[in-house]
A and B are shown apart, each in its own frame.
Chain A
Amino acid sequence: MPAPPDRRRLALLVTPLLAAAALALVVLAGDVPVLRARSLDTGTTRAAVALRDHVIPFQKWGTKLFTLPHLEEGYDRVYYLTQAYRGDQREELIRALDDALRTHDQVDLFLLAHTNELFTWTGSLDPALRRKLRLVYNTGCGDAWQARTWLSLGADAYVGHPAMKSMSPAFYFYFLRRWVRGHELAAAVDAGNRAAARRLGWLGLSGGATDATAVVAGRGDLWIGGAP
């Protein structure tokens, strides 16, 4: 069998092109790097409380892998809880919220849970402390209706999903990265909605009941550092 010719130049051309094409596909399917919009050093203290509901191990691990480093980037203290069964972590969530509200100027709450009524858990919190709740984000399908409830409980803004089979994680991936880097809430939600709809559109999943769209109630001009 005769040896094939040495195609060194072609190989030197094809290999970097292959690497570039692979990287381009990765970035296209994911997201471009998000830069910090402004300094997060505002002189106030802020904490985040996050609860992941009882789902399969991959989802619990993936949520923690993504959420925890981002929250730690943007907040002075993070309380991250994962349920081991339905209804788990009730006392822990209340304790975390109580501690966060007592010891920080602002507290954001991330409810990374399927359709839920977790607002019922916060009733025992001191109403005066609850006024320090700033953003509440809820991934729950169809939980956008809770906006008025959360705002009346003391939150400044609530972000929820109206669709009954919402692809909320697609939105959350784009939203959280912008929120913790100082983007204004309404702008971060808008960017998250657009980016998620685009990707879901490629898979034929955007629109209707599976829509990942989130809506903001309350102060859309908030940012992670506070209000303007």
Chain B
Amino acid sequence: MSRPGRLVRAGAWLARWHLALPLAALLVALAELAALRAVWIFSFGPERRIPEWADLPLGHAVLWGLGGAGAVLALAGAYRLVRRGRAWVAAAVVPLVCLPVAVISLGSLYASLVVAAIL
């Protein structure tokens, strides 16, 4: 089977088991951690690659952009899984994937408000 064919089959399998949103949430959370790492390396690594004024806005943009997306996907994924998915799948994926991703994502939004001296 060709690679596109395998991807389509994998997507169909994820959709059938209502796992596409939790998986997307997990990937977004991992992407957020990678993006944050890129911001601090580009700011204070051996060679500065972004202007000094961008240190903070870029960090907050990542915290809000990917944090917000991760939170929405994790909660939407939990909703869909609980509503339509198999009970045993929901019982495993909601606490093991959706909750940790929601903690990371909502934590990002909260941390952004805390470090921006708003809360």
Which of A's residues lie within 8 Å of B, judged by CB?
3-4, 6-8, 10-12, 14-15, 18-19, 21-23, 25-27, 29-31, 33-34, 57-58, 60-62, 64-66, 68-70, 72-73, 82, 177, 180
Contact = CB atoms under 8 A, between A and B. Distances in A.
Contacts of B45: 57
B33 to A, nearest CB: 11
B75 A19 contact: yes
A219 B48 CA distance: 41
A77 B56 CA distance: 18
Sorted nearest first, the 6 A-B pairs with minimum C-beta distance are A11-B83, A61-B40, A57-B44, A22-B102, A60-B44, A33-B119
A8 B56 contact: no
Contacts of B84: 3-4, 6-7
B79 to A, nearest CB: 4
B116 A34 contact: no
A61 B103 contact: no
B114 A30 contact: yes
Contacts of A3: 84
- Classify chain B: how many residues form its interface, as a range: 35 or more
The A interface, classified by DSSP as helix, strand, loop or mixed, is: helix
Interface string B57-74: 001000000000001001
B50 to A, nearest CB: 11
Contact of A72 (B79, B98, B117): B117
A180 B117 CA distance: 9
Nearest to A84: B44
Contacts of B82: 7, 10-11, 14-15
Contacts of A61: 39-40, 43-44, 55, 59
Contacts of B98: 18
A33 B106 CA distance: 15
B41 interface: yes
B83 A10 contact: yes
Contacts of B74: 18
B99 A4 contact: no
A19 B74 CA distance: 9
B106 A65 contact: no
Contacts of B87: 4
Nearest to B39: A61
Nearest to B45: A57
B99 A21 contact: yes
11 contacts: A12-B79, A14-B94, A19-B75, A23-B110, A30-B110, A33-B119, A58-B40, A58-B44, A60-B44, A64-B43, A69-B117
